[in-house]
Amino acid sequence: MKNLLFNSIMVKKIESLYGLAFPEFKALMKKKGETEYRAIQLFSWIYKKNVSDVGSMYTLPNALKEKLISSFVFSPLTQRSVCISKDGTIKWAFCLQDNNVIETVYIPGEGKNTLCLSTQSGCALYCKFCATARMGFRKNLDVSEIVGQVMFVIKEIKRDSINHIVFMGMGEPLLNVKALLKTIDILTHKEGLNFSRRRITVSTAGYVPGIRVLKGASQVNLAVSLNASCDEKRSFIMNINKKYPLNVLFESLDDYYTDKRRRITFEYVLLPGFNMGEEDVQGLARLLNSIPSKVNLIPFNIFPGSAFRSPTEVEVNAFADRVYNLGVSVQVRRPRGSDALAACGQLGASHFAYE
């Protein structure tokens, strides 16, 4: 594997206002001799009005503006490229201050416009059906780098155009759970963007310690990337299953459901010749009928160097029918943005070449 990106270089990172939660805004104002009301004003300017120029925040005193300008930046990322799919999906690549690259995807739909965020640059889990795995692990994103994705896209397409947020981009969100939870707090704060937690979904490949943390900390939706119904197959395509096999994973999910009383979504990437046989159908039904859930079937999206092919429409529908007939709530998630390498499992493919 040959990396076509320049390597990360050591740079002094300037703190971003996007990395502060509301209580930290209050503490910051107190430290600078200002009232709590200034924190509300500043938070509102940044998130409700999406103003990223402190000088334009006319309700703030000039002395405070000068202090902020000298100490902070706003976005820690810059646009590197943008690709627009024929179906309207938009993918942005961003360069971070340390020269790592991440990607963010906006998926428009009828009544449901979804923003897909990255939480890491690269990924350490090396799932065989995912292009991001080919990058290897680069870094955990900090809060400002995750929130910065949201604020950039809002400037491009407006806040009202986004009604769902999914942490399903580059990386395993629950391996960066501290930054993830703080980001969710920022995005859902009533003085700011005020996204509903019920319209935020965190996807995991099955990192059990992170599931336990999420259970105790947030009321967001949980999606689990399953992709096989037996340990042998799942371990072959997902290394994480060797440490947290299906019985351990489902024990944590039972606890999660018992605590949250919210149906869990399972994602199942369809890989012809590997996980679409009759034994896979039966195994999937046995697993998912044990817990209130639904399954999204995702036809595999090819990328340079991938070892699998995409299933045909006939194969997809036949598998979905067989699973549904065994009592599983099932939905086929049709590929979006695949021509722009923006679909599930394709992020990072356009920035790396593979030998």
Closest to 222 (Cα-Cα) out of 184, 277, 274: 184
Give me the amino acid identity at 293.
S
- Would you tell me how many other CB atoms lie within 10 Å of the CB of residue 71? 12
Examine the residue annotation and report whether 130 is marked as an active-site residue of this protein: no
Residue 337 CB-density burial (10 A; 0-12 exposed, 13-18 middle, 19+ buried)? buried
Torsion sign, CA atoms 38, 44, 47, 53: negative
Cβ atoms of 112 and 201 closer than 8 Å: no
The residue annotated as part of the active site, out of 83, 95, 103, 145, is: 103
The residue annotated as part of the active site, out of 123, 130, 230, 344, is: 344
Closest to 214 (Cα-Cα) out of 222, 205, 206: 222
Distance CA 25, CA 34 (A): 11
Cα Rg of the chain, angstroms: 21
Closest to 2 (Cα-Cα) out of 304, 316, 310, 308: 304
- Would you tell me how many other CB atoms lie within 10 Å of the CB of residue 342? 29
Going by C-beta distance under 8 Å and a sequence separation of 6 or more, which residues neighbour residue 219?
197, 198, 260, 262
Distance CA 28, CA 22 (A): 10
Cβ atoms of 326 and 68 closer than 8 Å: no
Rounded to 5°, angle at Cα 62 from 57 and 63:
130
Examine the residue annotation and report whether 344 is marked as an active-site residue of this protein: yes
Catalytic residues: 103, 344
